[in-house]
Structure 1
Amino acid sequence: MARSHEDFVDIVKIKNPSVEIVGIYTKAQDRIAVKCKECGYEWTPKAYSLIQGRSCRYCSAKRGAKNNSGKTGLKTQQQFLSEMSKVHPTIKVVGEYLNGHADIQCTCSVCSHSWKAKPYSLLQGHGCPRCAKSGTSFMEQFIKGSFEKALGEDSVLSRDKTAIGMELDIYIPSFKIAIEPGNWLLHKKSLNRDKTKRERCKKKGIRLITIYDKFPLTEQIPFENDCFVFNDDLNKADHSVIKDLVKRLFDITNIQYGLSDSQWSTIERQSYDNAKAKTHEDFIESMSAVHPTIEVLGKYVNANKRPLVKCTVCEFEWDGVPANMLAGDGCRKCGTKLAHKKFVKEQD
Structure 2
Amino acid sequence: MKKTAFKKALTGLAAGIGLAAALTAQAAEPFKVGFVYVGPIGDHGWSYQHDQGRKAVEAYYGDKVETTYVENVPEGADAERVIRNLAKSGNDLIFTTSFGFMNPTLKVAKQFPKVTFEHATGYKQAKNMGTYVSNTYEGRYVAGFVAAKMTKSNKIGYIASFPIPEVIRDINAVQLALNKYNPEAELKIVWVNTWFDPGKEADAANAMMDQGVDVILQHTDSPAAMQAADRRGAYAVGQASDMSSFGPKAHLMSVVDNWDPYYIKRVQEVMDGTWKSTDHWGGMAEDEIVIPGFSENVPDDVALEAQALIDGIKAGTLHPFAGPIKNQAGELIVAEGDVLPHGEIAGMSWYVEGVEGDIPK
- Tell me the TM-score range normalised by the shorter chain: under 0.3
In the superposition, the TM-score normalised over structure 2's length comes to 0.24
Rg larger in 1 or in 2? 1
Larger relative contact order (Cα-Cα within 8 Å, sequence gap ≥ 6):
2
The answer to which structure has the higher helix fraction is: 2
In the superposition, the TM-score normalised over structure 1's length comes to 0.25
